[in-house]
Structure formats: C-alpha cells, structure tokens
Amino acid sequence: MNTENQSKKIILSGIQASGDLTIGHYAGAMKNWVQLQDDYECFFMVADMHAITTKQIPADLRRRSIDVVAMYAACGINTEQSTLFIQSHVQEHAQLAWVLNCFTGFGEAQRMTQFKDKSQQHSENVNVGLFSYPVLMAADILLYQADLVPVGDDQKQHIELTRNLAERFNHLYSPTFIIPEPFIAKEGARIMSLQEPKKKMSKSDPNQNSCIFLHDSDAVIRNKIKRAVTDSGTDIIYDIETRPGISNLMSLHHIATGKSMQAISDEFNGRGYAPFKEAVAESVAELISPIRSRFEELRSHPDELSALLKTGADKAKRQAFKTLRKVYKKIGFVEPS
Ligand code: TRP
C-alpha cells in the first residue's frame, strides 16, 4: 500500500470532451489543478460519457478526448503524480451511475438548472442521458471517495446533488461514501466571451473571435484580443457590472501575469484602451505559447499518450472497483463466483 497517498485528501475533477479547450478552462480549471496537485491525491478525467448527452461526431469525440488529456499535461499536470484518465475506460462510472439513478428522485433531477438550460438549447435532443447527467457526475466523484471537487460555479448544484445522494446512501445502508465539498475557483477565474462579455467564454460559440483556444497561435490570439469588445468610456477599472469587457480583459491579464486587478488598474488606467489591449495580447500569447508547444510535442507521440492513459485507467480502476464492490454488496447484488 502507498502510505504517502493515504494521508492525502483526494481530488477529482474533469472536463467534458465536447469541444476544444479554451483559456477559460485553463483559468477556471487546469491552473488551479496544477496548484493543488502537490497537496492532494488527484484524479483528472476526460468526461467523454458526459459529452454524448449532446450530439457528437465520432471522429471528433475520439480526437478531442485525447487532445484534452494532452492539454492537461501541457498545462502542467504532472502525469507521474496525478492520475489522468478517460471516463469510459473505467466501466465503474456507468455501473455506479445506474445504482445512483435508482436513488435519485425524478423531481430532484428535474430541478437541476443546467438540465433546464440545456434542454432549451438542445430542444431537438432532450434525452434521458441529459436528464441523468448529474447522477453520472455524482458517480464520477463518489467512486474515488473524493474530498474536494474543483468546479466552476455552474456545477455547484451538481455537487450539492452528489452530497445528497451520498448522504442518502450512507444513511440507508452504512457509511460508504465520503461527502465531497465543492471547491469553487475564485473571482477573476471566470473568463467571459470576448464578443459578449456578459456571457461565459464558450468553446461552442459560433463566433470564433469570442473565444481563445489553448492551441491558438500567437497571431490569432493577438488578433482576437485586438477585436475584443470594450465598454464605452476609457476607464480601466474592474467592475463586471458596468465594465464587463474591460473587466474580462483585466481577468485575462491577471491570469497571465499574476498581477492583481488593482495593480493592473494602477498601471493602465488613464492611458486609453490601445496600450492596455496590447499588453493583454502580449501576456496571453506568452502564457499560451509554451502550452501550445508542449501540446504539439505530446500529440506527436501517440504511443506515449496511450501508455499514459493505460496507466491512468488502471490506477483509477483500482479505486473505482473497491467502491463499487462495496456498493453492490450493500444493495444486495450476488457476488459473482
Ligand atoms: N460536468 C462538468 C462540467 O461540465 C464536467 C464533469 C463531469 C465533472 N464529471 C465531473 C466535474 C466530475 C467535476 C467532477 O464542467
């Protein structure tokens, strides 16, 4: 047994493989994961099973699932230390999700605001998988006995459901699951669209200029930032309500340089938008350029990536199997002989 890991708390998080990763993912997820990985035992997954709750082109899903893994590593996740894996490689996710489905109230799932939003967005394909999406997410988390789940604000309700399901199961049977806590990224980590700064930056936005991808070239990054929507007036002051465009550019500069909002404002306020935008373009290009190179390097060695995924899946499976076996026993499933 690995005694070192036993004393560490466990983290699990993941990103859906439904689009290419953006600087929003970096700011809201990977940047924090990198900082957490020394202090926690971390499982980082690619949620390909969640991705198929909306329509996917098979070849794209396959490429993207691997891209996401390579991007995790390119952003600084230490693949020796943390466990990286693809959700569908560990069957226990689907298996525990089924059990948890049978402990989730219909009304409880119906109250999830993301379900309501997504069923409006994809009104032509409101499937049962979309409905039980948060239950699969609960399975992802509970299988690993995660203590902490770093997520964006929009996932908080899903963590709340996960906690309720875990408590319900523990109460009905006996203590089985750790009750996880959400770990919400701090302010400034939420990156908005460059074109409509009141909306979250989204990989699926049809306007490509609204979104900076982690594989964008320096020239593309500079161009997108140059075209970013700003607010009327000239103040460079952080205020999401009245100055959403400038505040978003300040967040980007903060993410890329580590400077505080106050320091950024002190440096640029009163000098007009142009020099500020130039500085943001420069800092963001400087942040992404090494990530892009590492990504391309990793992507050019598919054998190493698939070996890494095999190791990750094996390690994840060991933990997942342990939890699932307990659950199956408690609910009365006969152990296979
Ligand atoms: N639903 C999450 C999102 O869209 C992705 C996800 C799937 C996840 N399973 C998870 C996040 C488990 C944290 C833990 O962001």
Largest pairwise CA distance in the chain: 75
Which residues are CB-contacts of 89 (< 8 A; sequence separation ≥ 6)? 309, 312, 313, 316, 317
> Are 150 and 129 in contact, with CB atoms under 8 Å apart?
no
Residue 13 CB–ligand 1 contact under 6 Å: yes
Given CA atoms 199, 202, 208, 211 in this order, what sign does their dihedral have?
A: positive
Q: How far is the CA of 51 from the centre of ligand 1 (A)?
A: 10
Q: Please, how many CA atoms are within 13 Å of residue 70, restricted to the half-sphere of its CB?
A: 25
> Are 298 and 144 in contact, with CB atoms under 8 Å apart?
no
Q: How far apart are CA 69 and CA 67, in angstroms?
A: 5
CA 271 from centroid of its chain's CA atoms: 36
Task: Give the closest residue (by CA) to ligand 1 atom 14.
Answer: 13
Strands 83-86 and 40-47, bridge-based pairing: parallel
- Predicted pLDDT at 30: 95
> Are 38 and 7 in contact, with CB atoms under 8 Å apart?
no
Q: What is the DSSP track for 241-271? A: TT-HHHHHHHHHHHHHH---HHHHHHHHTTS
Residue 283 CB–ligand 1 contact under 6 Å: no
> Are 99 and 138 in contact, with CB atoms under 8 Å apart?
no
Which of 92, 8, 82, 97 shows the shortest CA–CA distance to 318?
92
- Predicted pLDDT at 1: 44
Q: How far is the CA of 16 from the centre of ligand 1 (A)?
A: 7
Residue 50 CB–ligand 1 contact under 6 Å: yes
Residue 140 CB–ligand 1 contact under 6 Å: yes
> Are 6 and 40 in contact, with CB atoms under 8 Å apart?
no
- The model's pTM: 0.94
Count CB-CB contacts under 10 A for residue 256: 21
200 tagged catalytic: yes
Count CB-CB contacts under 10 A for residue 78: 12
Structure token pair of residue 248 = 């978003």
Which residues are CB-contacts of 69 (< 8 A; sequence separation ≥ 6)? 46, 84, 86, 305, 308, 309
Q: Angle, nearest 10°, between helix axes 113-121 and 128-143?
A: 140
In order of 1, 157, 336, the CA distances from 163 in angstroms are 28, 10, 30
Q: How far is the CA of 85 from the centre of ligand 1 (A)?
A: 13
Q: Which residues of the chain have pLDDT under 70?
A: 1-6, 187-188
259 tagged catalytic: no
Residue recorded with tokens 């309501």: 116
Bridge partners (DSSP) listed for residue 85:
45
- pLDDT of 289-313, one tens digit each? 999 999 999 999 999 999 999 999 9
Bridge partners (DSSP) listed for residue 84:
44
- Active-site entry in 8, 31, 200, 326: 200
Q: What is the mean pLDDT of the chain?
A: 94
Q: How far is the CA of 183 from the centre of ligand 1 (A)?
A: 12
Which of 311, 319, 293 shows the shortest CA–CA distance to 144?
319
- Predicted pLDDT at 82: 97
Which of 202, 287, 244, 263 shows the shortest CA–CA distance to 31?
287
Nearest 10 degrees: Cα torsion 45, 220, 257, 37 = 10
